[in-house]
Amino acid sequence: MKSVKVKRSSIGGSIRCPPSKSYTHRGVAVASLADGKSTIKNPLLSRDTRATIDGCRILGSYVYVNTDDSIEVHGRDRFTYGYRVVNAENSGTTIRVLASISSLVQDGNTMLYGDASLNRRPMQPLLDALKQLGVKCSSLAYGTPPLLVNGNGLEGGRAYITGSVSSQFISALLIPAVHAREGVEIHVTDEQVSYPYIDATIAVMERFSVKVEREGYRYYRVDNAQEYRSTEFYVPGDFSSASMLLAAGVLAGEVTVTGLDFALPQADARIVDILEAMSVDVKVHSNRIQISQSESIEGGVFNLSASPDLLPVVAILALKAKGTVEIRGVRHARAKETDRVANIAREITKLGAEVKEYDDGLSIKAPEKIRNAVLESYDDHRLFMALCIASLLADECIVNGADSVDVSYPTFIDDMRSLGASIE
H/E segment holding residue 24: helix 21-31
Question: b/e map of 395-411 (b: 16 or more CB within 10 Å)?
Answer: eebbbbbbebbbbbbbb
Residue type, 145: P
Residues whose CB is less than 8 angstroms from the CB of residue 417 and which lie 6 or more positions away in sequence, other chains included? 423
Backbone φ, ψ for residue 369 (5° rounding): -140, 140
Question: b/e map of 37-46 (b: 16 or more CB within 10 Å)?
Answer: ebbbebbbbb
CA distance linking residue 282 with residue 38, whole number of Å: 37
Residue 30: CA atoms inside 13 Å, Cβ hemisphere, count?
32
**Angle, alpha carbons 323-327-333 (nearest 5°):** 155
Q: Which of 48, 309, 379, 415 is catalytic?
A: 309
Catalytic residue check, 309: yes
CA distance linking residue 110 with residue 35, whole number of Å: 22
CA distance linking residue 126 with residue 259, whole number of Å: 34
Q: Are 344 and 383 in contact (CB under 8 A)?
A: yes
**Residues catalogued as catalytic:** 309
